Structure 1
C-alpha cells in the first residue's frame, strides 16, 4: 500500500450515512483539509437497514433473519425481503435520482438480495430433511444478511463521490464472491495492498468476511472491529469515528444540551467503562487493537466539522482528579443468590451461575459478594431474566434467589483519586431522597457505580452531573 505513512482510518455511523449531504460537505470535502486523500473510510449500513435485515436493535422486532430463524413452514421471511428491497431501491432513488447510475446501483444491490434469497430458499428446503438442522447454519445466515447493508451503503458512497470528482474506490470486504473462507486480516491486506492512498479514497464495507465469523463475538458491533483491524494493519496515524453527536459529559436529552460539555480528551479505560454501560464509543475488543498499536481514537460529530471532537489515547490522565462523564444503564436485573452454607465456597456458586449466564448469552454489568451471598447485575430482557431465575432455582434448591429490576448510574473519569469525591457523589444522590441499593468503586479509581431502583435513573443522572461536572466547571 502506497502513501500510507500518514493516513487516517475513519468510520461513519449509520445515522450519519443516511445524510449524504452532511457526509459529503463535512467529512469528504471538509474545507479544513488540504486534499480528500490519505484517508480510508469504513461505513455502516444506512440507519434502520440492519434492523430490517436482522431484527430491530431495541424492540427485537424480527427482520429477514429473525423471521427465517423462527420459521419452519412459514415463509414470512420472504415478505421481509420485499421490505428490504423496497427500502434499498427507495434509498437509491433519493441519492441518485432518475439516472443511469441509479439503475446501476439497483442492479448491484438487487443481485445481492436475489442471491441471498435464493440461498435461504435452498437452505430452507434442505432442512426439511431430517439430516439437516437449520440451527447449524443460522450464524452464517446472519453474517450473510448483515453484509448486504454495508455493501449497499459503501457502493453508493463510492459512486456518489466519483460524481463529485473524487477518485473513490469501493472496497468490498464482505467476501461475497470468494469461494472459500479466508482469514480476516489476510483479506484486509489483500484488498488494500495495491491501493495508493495519495491518489484514491477507499470506501470499505463495515462488515468484513472472516473464517471464524465476526458476529459470533461482536454481533452488531462488527463494523467497529473491521474499522479497528484496518487501522492496525495499515498502520494508521489516527482512527476517527464520525457520529451524529459529541461524546459528552452526559446524555444531552436527559441533562440538557446547555449543561453538558463535549469531552476533549480521555483514555481507553474510560471508553471501556462506557461500553460496559452500553454507551459504546467503541467496542472494547476493537479498542484493544488500537490501544496495543498505540493508535489514538478520535470521536467527531458529523454535523460540527470544525469541532476537534474527543481524542481517546492510552496515556491520557486528567491534569486534576475529576468526573468526566456521568452515564448509566437501564433494564438491569439484580440476581441475588443467598445461601447460609455459601461461606467458604463462593467460587463454586459463582462459577456455576456464570455458566448459566453465558449459556443464555446475557451481559454482566457488575457483581458484588458477601460472606453468604453473591449478586450479579445483568443487562437483559424480562424473558431471559425469568429463564435465568428458573435455572438458578433448579441449580441451587436450598438457596434464596431474589430478582429485582434496577438501574446503574456511574460517574466516570480517567483519574478520580480524590478524597471526598465519593462522599460528594453519595450526597448528590441522597439529597434527592434516593436510597442506594449498592455501591461499587474499584481500586483503579476510574468509576463509581450506584445501583438504584429503576425509577430513579434520570433523577440520579441529572443530580450527579450537576454536583460532579457542572459545579466543578464553574469553579
Structure 2
C-alpha cells in the first residue's frame, strides 16, 4: 500500500470551493502536509443535468434533446455554456483566472457543438443508426462537466501556492482508447504524490465506456479504480452530510449519531435501500483490494466520519442505521399448483432477468411468491405482461408499498426483532411482510407507504435513541 489517499468530492460540495479549501484541500496544512492526496472531482452541482438530462425530473438537457432529434439542443448547449461561465465568475474572488477558465469552457463547448452538428449531418443520410453514435455522444457530453471543475480547481489551488496538477482523464481529442486502468496509469505516470496534488476528472474515457456501464455513477468508479491502481492506503468520500443512524431531516439532527465504523457488507445493504455510501461496483473493487473507505462530511472537518472496512463487526450488538425506500412495488404470484413444483420460482425470475429487473426483498410460502422491486424499474409493465401470459393459472397482483430497514454489523442478539416489531405495533403500524436472513445484518419491514416516516422514527427511537440513554 502507498502512503497516499484518494479522495472524492461531490458536485454540490464543489460549488462551495472556498469552504473546501478551508476544510479539506488546504486549511492549516503547509508544505509536505498538502500532498500524498489525490482528489477526484465531480462536475459542479447541476451541470451534468444540463449536459444530459435532469436526474430527478427527466427534463431534457443537451444530450436528451439531441437524442430526440430536437434542434433545441443547440439552445441547450448555449444555456449550459452560459451557466459554466457564470460559475467561473463565482470563483473570481478565490483567484480563478477568468480568461483561462472561460477559454477552457469555450474550447470544449465549441468542440462539442461541432461534433454534434457533424453527427446530425450523418444522421440525415439514414445509413447511420442511433445506437452507433448516441452512446459516444453521451460519453463526450458527460466528460465536459468534470473537466471544467477539475481545471478550475487546479488554477485556484496553484494561485494559492499549491502544486496542483490537472489530470484530465476525459480523453479530449485523444485518438487512442485504453482500459480505465491503462488510462489512469498513463496519466499519473511520473507524478510524485509526495510533492504534488493531482486533481483528477471524475469521468474517465475507456474502452468499456464508463457511461454505458455505470451511467451517472461513473465518478465513484473512477475514484475506486484510482485507489486500486495506485495502491492507496485509504479512500475518502467527502459528502455534504455524515453517514448517520437515520435521516437527520426526518428524525432530527440532535437525535441521530454518526455511525463511526461499519463494513462493506453494510454498505451493500445501504445501497439496496438507495442509501448509497458508495456505488456497489466501486466498493467491491476496493473491498477486494483491502482498501478501507471513509465517508466524511466536507463541512465538518474535525469529525473523522465513518470508516468502512472489510472485516469490522461492532464489539457490542447495536443498530447502525434505520433507513428505507418508499418507491417499492410488491409483485405477488399466487398459484395453488405451486406447492411442491420444482423450478416454479426459477421461471418467475427468468422474466425478471430477461427484463433486467432486480428485486430488493422476497417472501415465499406454499403457494405464494412475492418479490419487492423498485417501481422505477424499466420494462416493469412488459415483465408483468409476460408473467400473466406464462402463468395462466396464477393470480398476479401488484401493490404499492414501502420498506423500512434496520441494519447493523452485529444484531445477533435475542430480542432485536421483538423490540422492532413492538415499536411498530405501538405506533399503530401494520407489518405487511418481513424479511430477514440468517446472517441477521438487515431486518426489512414491508409496510404501507403512508407509514414510511412514522416507522423510521419509531424504530430509531427504540433501537438507537434508547441505547444512548
Task: Compute the displacement of 1:267 (Å).
Answer: 0.7
Give the alignment's TM-score, normalised by structure 2: 0.95
Q: Which residue of 1 aligns with 2:42?
A: 44
CA distance in 1, matches of 2:95, 2:401: 54
Choose which of 105, 108, 121 in structure 1 pairs with 2:104. Answer: 108
Which residue pairs with 2:350 in the alignment?
Answer: 352
- SS for the counterpart of 1:250 is coil
Moved more, 285-294 or 379-388: 379-388
* Structure 1 residue 100: Cα displacement: 8.5
Residue in 2 that maps onto 1:258: 254
Q: Which residue of 2 aligns with 1:463?
A: 458
Kindly state the Cα deviation for residue 383 of structure 1 after the two structures are TM-superposed.
Answer: 7.9
Measured against aligned partners, the alpha-carbon deviations of 1:329-378 in whole angstroms (never above 9, x if no partner) come to 121111112233333132342332223430xxx45322223333322211
1:320 aligned onto 2:330? no
* Counterparts of 2:74 and 2:392, CA distance in 1: 46
| Distance in 2 separating the partners of 1:138 and 1:422 | 50
Q: Which residue of 1 aligns with 2:376?
A: 381
The residue that corresponds to 1:211 in the other structure is: 207
CA RMSD of aligned residues (A): 1.9
Q: Distance in 1 between matches of 2:117 and 2:387?
A: 40
1:91 paired residue among 87, 91, 100: 87
1:230 and 2:212 equivalent? no
TM-score, with length taken from structure 1: 0.94
Q: Is 1:448 matched with 2:443? A: yes
| Structure 1 residue matching 2:447: 3-state secondary structure | strand
3-state SS of paired residue (1:127): helix
Q: In structure 1, what is the equivalent of residue 362 of structure 2? A: 367
Kept in 2: contact 1:30–1:305 (CA 8 A): no
The answer for the alignment partner of 2:151 in structure 1 is 155
Please state whether the residue corresponding to 1:272 is helix, strand or coil: helix
Unaligned runs of 5+ in 1: none
Name the CA distance, whole Å, in 2 between partners of 1:363 and 1:110: 42
Aligned residue among 55, 58, 78 for 1:57? 55
After superposition, give the CA deviation of every residue in 1:46-81 in whole Å (9 maximum; x if it has no partner).
Answer: 11111111111122222112222222xx21222221
> 1:137 aligns to what SS in structure 2?
helix
Equivalents in 2 of 1:179, 1:141: separation in Å? Answer: 15
Q: How do 1:52-451 residues align onto structure 2 when only pairs under 5 Å count?
A: 52-71=50-69, 74-96=70-92, 101-343=97-339, 344=341, 345-358=343-356, 362-381=357-376, 385-451=380-446
Aligned partners of 1:457 and 1:335: how far apart in 2?
Answer: 19
> Shift of residue 384 of structure 1?
5.2
Task: Structure 2: give runs of 5+ residues left out of the alignment.
Answer: none
**Matched-pair contact (CA < 8 Å) for 2:8–2:236:** yes
**Conservation of the 8 A alpha-carbon contact between 2:143 and 2:170:** yes
With over 3 angstroms needed to count, the CA separation of the structure-2 counterparts of 1:141 and 1:397, relative to structure 1, is farther
Whole-Å Cα distance in 2 between the matches of residues 394 and 50 of structure 1?
A: 41
